[in-house]
């Protein structure tokens, strides 16, 4: 069910934003995007006493807990667990939800326009539209490669696995492009699901897999890939993707690789709604923010999550989650006309899903791999699922499975 509610207490269209530090005449907070940054900001703000009217604009019906997408693919978790509906998550919390996309923002008049043609005004605005896959303009990626970010992507991959397992022809091959965390974790799960029905290859243009990862996790990932006969082709650049082949550039020269399917996990692109006047972006297109998460030169517009560019911060759910609670406090401060506080990241560690029932983690002084790490990772994410009641429903489901 779609709830479409405009924020109460909206300002007049011509109302200019007051100077920083002055309370906002119109308190309404509009959050654009209901992923890790946006949804958790909304949930955290809604817990504050006397919070301003709050509207979340998000086009999808379900929130998606992306770090557990691999377990949805493998059937180790269920769809409702990692993709709860927004209407259920937001019910009774004082957060209005508009199922729509924001296309344009006029910072001068503090107004925005949605894809469905609605016009809304805001007192403070949060941009949390995240990232999407990046084709880098390589021919054939958009037409032929599968992605791994959405529920539809998971369904397509499940169908592919089923087809490959049924056909069992010789030399069936899935190529996964990008040996970052998504590529490596996906390769392990796919290899387990395929049970030898197809070869899985990881294509990486750099020298190694997981260049940013902790050494222990990288070693565990290498072992997990070896155990599953996943071949890593490093220093290997994709030149083009065809319906049944990849054209590659390797140290030995150009090569053509026959494939049953290609899954593209390399690179992120950022397409926030158009903002007037145009905000400053970094070299990969993220919006540049101050430590308070306000856009440079804009006191009433914030960015959070993958879209927000701060030095030395990777685009992860962990960063977005922590920024959300800082931002909720800053929105309250902004609402009251108080000075805002800077965001400080607290690195809680790193976890990797490495095949069915296996994981690796480095966190809180602990390094652990295998089935115990898998269970710990699941429990850690249980405490991060949105909303206490959803966490309890999921925990009850797991207890029922075990009993
Ligand atoms: C497969 C996968 C696995 C991952 N695993 C991990 C992990 O293990 N650990 C980790 O820390 N990170 C992980 N990440 C990264 C993590 O998921 C992201 O860093 C995080 O989701 C960023 O949150 P966000 O709110 O910025 O964006 P998102 O969570 O992507 O949310 C953006 C939201 O904005 C909405 N939106 C987009 N455009 C508009 C618009 N114009 N108007 C309104 N709404 C809009 C989208 O529908 C979406 O709901 C993973 C990512 C992927 C893809």
Condensed to tens digits (0 to 9), the pLDDT of residues 33-67 reads 999 999 999 999 999 999 999 999 999 999 999 99
Same domain, 171 and 103: no
In percent, how much of the chain has pLDDT > 90? 90
Same domain, 186 and 280: no
Q: What average pLDDT does this structure show over 307-313?
A: 95
pLDDT of 18 strictly over 60? no
- Please state, in angstroms and rounded to a whole number, the distance separating the CA atoms of residues 208 and 249: 16
Give the domain range for residue 44: 29-59+99-131+270-336
Distance 306 CA to ligand 1 centre (A): 7
Last residue of a domain, one of 264, 283, 302: 264
Stretch (H or E) spanning 71: helix 69-73
Same domain, 204 and 247: yes
Q: What average pLDDT does this structure show over 317-328?
A: 98
Same domain, 254 and 301: no
Structure tokens at 27: 């308190």
Helices (H), ranges, 147-301: 151-167, 181-194, 215-227
Any domain includes 175: yes
Q: Whose alpha carbon is nearest atom 44 of ligand 1?
A: 33
Q: Name the residue of 71, 74, 318, 320 to mutate for ligand 1: max ligand atoms within 8 A of Cβ.
A: 320
Q: What is the DSSP letter of 67?
A: G
Q: What is the pLDDT of residue 225?
A: 98
Any domain includes 22: no
* 32 closest CA partner among 295, 344, 267, 290: 295
Same domain, 192 and 224: yes
Contact 205 CB / ligand 1 (< 6 Å): no
Last residue of a domain, one of 304, 336, 368: 336
Q: Whose alpha carbon is nearest atom 38 of ligand 1?
A: 129
Structure tokens at 223: 């072992």
Ligand 1 closest atom vs CA 321 = 23
Q: How confident is the model at residue 26 (pLDDT cuts 50, 70, 90)?
A: low
pLDDT of 399 strictly over 50? yes
- The number of domains in the chain is 3
Any domain includes 20: no
Q: Whose alpha carbon is nearest atom 48 of ligand 1?
A: 35
Same domain, 330 and 231: no
Contact 149 CB / ligand 1 (< 6 Å): yes
pLDDT of 277 strictly over 50? yes
Q: How confident is the model at residue 24 (pLDDT cuts 50, 70, 90)?
A: very low
Non-local (6+) Cβ contacts of 38 within 8 A are 31, 32, 56, 58, 126, 128, 129, 304, 305, 324
The DSSP result for 257-276, as a single string, is EE-SEEEE---EE--PPEEE
**What proportions of the chain, in percent to the nearest 5, are helix, strand and coil?**
30, 25, 45
- Please state, in angstroms and rounded to a whole number, the distance separating the CA atoms of residues 266 and 133: 7
Q: Whose alpha carbon is nearest atom 37 of ligand 1?
A: 129
Contact 35 CB / ligand 1 (< 6 Å): yes
Distance 274 CA to ligand 1 centre (A): 19
- Residue 246 has φ and ψ, to the nearest 5°, of -120, 140
Pairing of strands 237-241, 245-250: antiparallel
pLDDT of 366 strictly over 50? yes
Any domain includes 6: no
pLDDT tens digits, residue range 70-94? 999 999 999 999 999 999 999 999 9
Q: What is the pLDDT of residue 402?
A: 83
Q: Whose alpha carbon is nearest atom 51 of ligand 1?
A: 66
Q: What average pLDDT does this structure show over 282-298?
A: 97
Of the listed ranges 7-16, 173-182, 227-236, the least confidently predicted one is 7-16
In percent, how much of the chain has pLDDT > 70? 94
Q: How confident is the model at residue 10 (pLDDT cuts 50, 70, 90)?
A: very low
Contact 133 CB / ligand 1 (< 6 Å): no
Same domain, 147 and 253: yes
Q: Name the residue of 64, 82, 129 to mutate for ligand 1: max ligand atoms within 8 A of Cβ.
A: 129
Q: Whole-prediction pTM value? A: 0.93
Any domain includes 227: yes
Any domain includes 310: yes
Q: Name the residue of 41, 67, 132 to mutate for ligand 1: max ligand atoms within 8 A of Cβ.
A: 67
Same domain, 225 and 256: yes
Q: What average pLDDT does this structure show over 302-311?
A: 97
Distance 36 CA to ligand 1 centre (A): 6
Same domain, 125 and 239: no
Distance 396 CA to ligand 1 centre (A): 26
Q: What average pLDDT does this structure show over 140-166?
A: 97
Q: Give yes or no for a contact between 205 and 250, defined as CB atoms under 8 angstroms apart.
A: no
- Please state, in angstroms and rounded to a whole number, the distance separating the CA atoms of residues 379 and 344: 25
Q: What average pLDDT does this structure show over 375-388?
A: 96
Write the CATH number for 184. Answer: 3.50.50.60
CA distances to 143, 181, 252 from 136, in Å: 13, 19, 23
pLDDT tens digits, residue range 87-124? 999 999 999 999 999 999 999 999 999 999 999 999 99
Any domain includes 87: no
Ligand 1 closest atom vs CA 308 = 26
Same domain, 232 and 302: no
Same domain, 237 and 254: yes
Q: What is the pLDDT of residue 257?
A: 96
- Please state, in angstroms and rounded to a whole number, the distance separating the CA atoms of residues 254 and 235: 12
Any domain includes 69: no
Same domain, 189 and 232: yes
Q: How confident is the model at residue 6 (pLDDT cuts 50, 70, 90)?
A: very low
Q: What is the pLDDT of residue 14?
A: 27
Structure tokens at 349: 């560690």
Mean pLDDT of the chain: 93
- Please state, in angstroms and rounded to a whole number, the distance separating the CA atoms of residues 226 and 280: 44
């Amino acid at each position: 069910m779609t709830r479409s509610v405009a924020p109460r207490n909206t300002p007049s269209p011509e109302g200019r934003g007051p100077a920083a530090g002055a309370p906002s005449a119109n308190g309404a907070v509009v959050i654009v995007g209901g992923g890790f940054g946006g949804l958790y900001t909304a949930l955290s703000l809604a817990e504050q006493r006397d919070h301003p009217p709050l509207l979340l604009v998000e086009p999808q019906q379900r929130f998606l807990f992306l770090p557990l997408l691999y377990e949805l693919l493998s059937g180790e978790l269920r769809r409702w667990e990692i993709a709860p509906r927004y209407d259920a998550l937001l019910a009774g919390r004082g957060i209005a939800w508009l199922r729509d996309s924001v296309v344009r923002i006029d910072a001068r008049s503090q107004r925005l326009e949605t894809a469905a043609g609605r016009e809304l005004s805001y007192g403070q605005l949060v941009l949390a539209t995240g990232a999407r896959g990046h084709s880098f303009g390589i021919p054939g990626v958009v037409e032929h490669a599968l992605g791994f970010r959405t529920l539809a992507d998971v369904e397509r991959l499940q169908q592919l696995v089923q087809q490959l397992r049924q056909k069992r022809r010789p030399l069936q091959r899935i190529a996964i492009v990008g040996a970052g965390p998504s590529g490596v974790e996906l390769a392990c799960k796919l290899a387990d699901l395929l049970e030898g029905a197809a070869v899985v290859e990881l294509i990486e243009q750099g020298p190694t897999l997981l260049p940013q990862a902790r050494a222990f996790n990288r070693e565990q990932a290498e072992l997990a890939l070896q155990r599953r006969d996943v071949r890593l082709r490093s220093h290997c650049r994709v030149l083009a993707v065809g319906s049944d082949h990849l054209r590659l550039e390797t140290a030995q020269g150009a090569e053509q690789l026959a494939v049953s399917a290609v899954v593209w996990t390399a690179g992120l692109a950022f397409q926030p709604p158009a903002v007037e006047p145009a905000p400053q972006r970094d070299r990969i297109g993220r919006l540049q923010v101050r430590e308070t998460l306000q856009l440079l030169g804009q006191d009433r517009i914030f960015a959070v999550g993958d879209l927000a560019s701060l030095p030395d911060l990777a685009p992860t759910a962990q960063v977005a989650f922590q920024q959300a609670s800082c931002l909720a406090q800053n929105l309250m401060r902004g609402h009251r006309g108080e000075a805002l506080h800077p965001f400080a990241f607290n690195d809680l560690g790193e976890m990797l899903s490495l095949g069915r029932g296996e994981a690796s983690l480095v966190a809180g002084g602990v390094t652990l791999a295998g089935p115990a790490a898998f269970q710990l990772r699941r429990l850690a994410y249980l405490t991060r699922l949105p909303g206490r009641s959803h966490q309890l429903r999921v925990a009850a489901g797991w207890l029922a499975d075990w009993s």
